[in-house]
Copies of this chain bind each other. A is one copy, B any other.
Amino acid sequence: MILTKSSQDLYGEYTARMQKIADVKFSAAVLQWDQETYLPPKGAEFRARQLATLSEIAHEWFTAPEFGQLLEELHSRQQLPENQQRNVALSLEDYNKQKKFTPAFVRRLSEAGSRCFHTWLQARSANSFALYRADLQNMVQLKKEEAGLAGYEHHPYNALLDQYEKGATVSLLDKVFNEVRQPLKDLLTRIAGCPLVNDDFLRGDYPKQQQWDFGMGLIRQMGFDFEAGRQDLSEHPFTTNFNSLDVRITTRVDEHDFNSMTWSCIHETGHGLYEQGLPADYYGLPLGEYASLSIHESQSRLWENNIGRSSNWWKTLYPRLQSIFPKQLNTVSAAQFYQAINKVQPSLIRTEADEVSYHFHVMIRYELEKKLIEGSLSVDEIPAWWNEHYAAWLGVTVPDDKRGCLQDVHWSHGSFGYFPTYSLGSFYAAQFFAAAQNQVPGLNDSIGAGDTQSLLNWLRENIHRWGRRYTSEELCLKATGKTLEIKYFLDYLLDKYDNIYKF
């Protein structure tokens, strides 16, 4: 019967189904957002099964054989407009990946994730890896099963990497990380030879409400639309969306640390601006989705580092900050402030790391995940392995698991293979920002005047509006004229720290 229908009728059926699946997925996103912001502790158990049921429905609908037939048939038709063809091709690709997992497996994964998340919260607060061990072990086991079901070549971790970054493999990432490791190591060594930057004033007394208000001002200034989104507090800052007209970001505020709120706030706003820039008229369809996680991260990193940690942006911003916190900052010059927010010092917490040592945090997790998934390291061995590598690669001593292997939420959600996209994001960010600077006349002057609208316009035009139409590399080529080159990132960093430290 399918064969007798017009392509447009079939495409209409495809759209309707995808959008209903999106309704269910985005409903789950609301429940997850609530779970991390407002859920009372006793609500966790039933919330887990509610999330599992929604995952199961979305998965069942998407992987139903008759939907596969519809996708196959639509894919074979030549008459569809290009954007429709692209949607169908991407959905078919997703279908072929997803159908490998049974609804029961998806449910197990979802339930394990909710349970593991709550155990993680408890373990972190109790500073006890032992509390977390069993649930994490279960999760690792499920991820190994998942890799087996998904199928892979060469390395089981490839199956997981591909879910977060299409085409990413152990051999590609090994190559990229090998390319940056030594130059970053050298840079760290050179900086270690310089006098230590003083940033004590950033850890003075910064009242919560004033920080929150300052953060909200930054978000607004960056162009986040509060009619189509909001910011709340959560343990671990994140961005989610229930459609591009309802984008939620979260932050945390530490009254003795100006950095904690500020950078997470700018970072998540970068993600949020991307989500708000995705085309709402493709609700539920691939072209309405983000390109990839590394591209997503390029947006947050670009705002956090290339803008947020630039002396240029703070030109107009710093006097405002001083007027909000006069007691804390009146004796601190703009130059001192700039050095402080760019202080490089290997430390324990990834999300608070400087731009140089950050990538060692990622590389440690990447190596560790590879071993966990290939089975050459057991969950029990994580803390020791972690601490050993922090000592060897970053020269820091991990005093406890809370500030060690319990610091990230990712594993509790089953996100193995996710961390590498953070580094890729930084690399893309540097290349994108260089292109924007080339292409937008007067961009640096505008940013120096506190106006980032023309940058946002460039991102909207070259990245956001395309949704998932292009792969990371296609998008990079289209926006910058070249596929990813690590040199942009290294040049940016070397240039920046040369200026700060006058090697």
Among the 9-residue stretches A224-232, A307-315, A337-345, the one with 4 or more Cβ atoms under 8 Å from chain B is A224-232
A43 close to chain B: CB less than 8 A: yes
| Beyond A40-B230, A41-B227, A42-B245, 5 extra complex contacts between A and B, CB < 8 Å | A20-B53, A27-B50, A40-B245, A41-B228, A57-B57
Number of copies of this chain that the complex holds: 2
Please indicate the chain B residues that have their CB under 8 angstroms from the CB of A53 in the complex. 20, 23-24, 27
Q: List 16 A-B contacts (CB under 8 A).
A: A19-B49, A23-B49, A24-B57, A26-B50, A27-B27, A27-B50, A30-B50, A34-B34, A38-B230, A38-B232, A40-B230, A41-B227, A42-B227, A43-B228, A43-B229, A45-B245
| Chain A interfacial positions (CB closer than 8 Å to B) | 19-20, 23-24, 26-28, 30-31, 34, 38-43, 45-47, 49-50, 52-54, 57, 225-230, 232, 242-243, 245-246, 283
Please indicate the chain B residues that have their CB under 8 angstroms from the CB of A27 in the complex. 27-28, 30-31, 50, 53-54
Interface contact A228-B42, CB-CB below 8 Å: yes
Please indicate the chain B residues that have their CB under 8 angstroms from the CB of A246 in the complex. 39-40, 42-43, 46-47
Shortest Cβ gap from A106 to chain B (Å)? 14
Q: Which of B31, B40, B230, B243 contacts A228 (CB 8 A)?
A: B40
Please indicate the chain B residues that have their CB under 8 angstroms from the CB of A42 in the complex. 225, 227-228, 245-246
Shortest Cβ gap from A451 to chain B (Å)? 24
Query: Residue on B with the closest CB to A37?
Result: B38
Please indicate the chain B residues that have their CB under 8 angstroms from the CB of A46 in the complex. 26, 242-243, 245-246, 283
Interface contact B54-A23, CB-CB below 8 Å: yes
A45 to B244, CA, bound (A): 11
A166 to B88, CA, bound (A): 49
Query: Residue on B with the closest CB to A20?
Result: B53
Give the one of A23, A52, A54, A283 with max B CB within 10 A.
A23
Query: Residue on B with the closest CB to A232?
Result: B38
Query: Residue on B with the closest CB to A229?
Result: B40
A300 to B150, CA, bound (A): 53
Shortest Cβ gap from A217 to chain B (Å)? 18
Shortest Cβ gap from A5 to chain B (Å)? 21
Shortest Cβ gap from A61 to chain B (Å)? 10
A30 to B246, CA, bound (A): 15
Please indicate the chain B residues that have their CB under 8 angstroms from the CB of A283 in the complex. 46
Please indicate the chain B residues that have their CB under 8 angstroms from the CB of A41 in the complex. 227-228
Please indicate the chain B residues that have their CB under 8 angstroms from the CB of A43 in the complex. 228-229, 242-243, 245-246
Please indicate the chain B residues that have their CB under 8 angstroms from the CB of A54 in the complex. 23-24, 27
Interface contact B34-A30, CB-CB below 8 Å: yes
Please indicate the chain B residues that have their CB under 8 angstroms from the CB of A28 in the complex. 27
Shortest Cβ gap from A37 to chain B (Å)? 9
Give the one of A24, A40, A242 with max B CB within 10 A.
A40
Shortest Cβ gap from A421 to chain B (Å)? 27
Shortest Cβ gap from A188 to chain B (Å)? 42
A45 to B227, CA, bound (A): 13
A227 to B41, CA, bound (A): 6
Please indicate the chain B residues that have their CB under 8 angstroms from the CB of A20 in the complex. 53
Shortest Cβ gap from A57 to chain B (Å)? 7
Interface contact B23-A50, CB-CB below 8 Å: yes
Query: Residue on B with the closest CB to A61?
Result: B57
Query: Residue on B with the closest CB to A283?
Result: B46
Please indicate the chain B residues that have their CB under 8 angstroms from the CB of A52 in the complex. 23
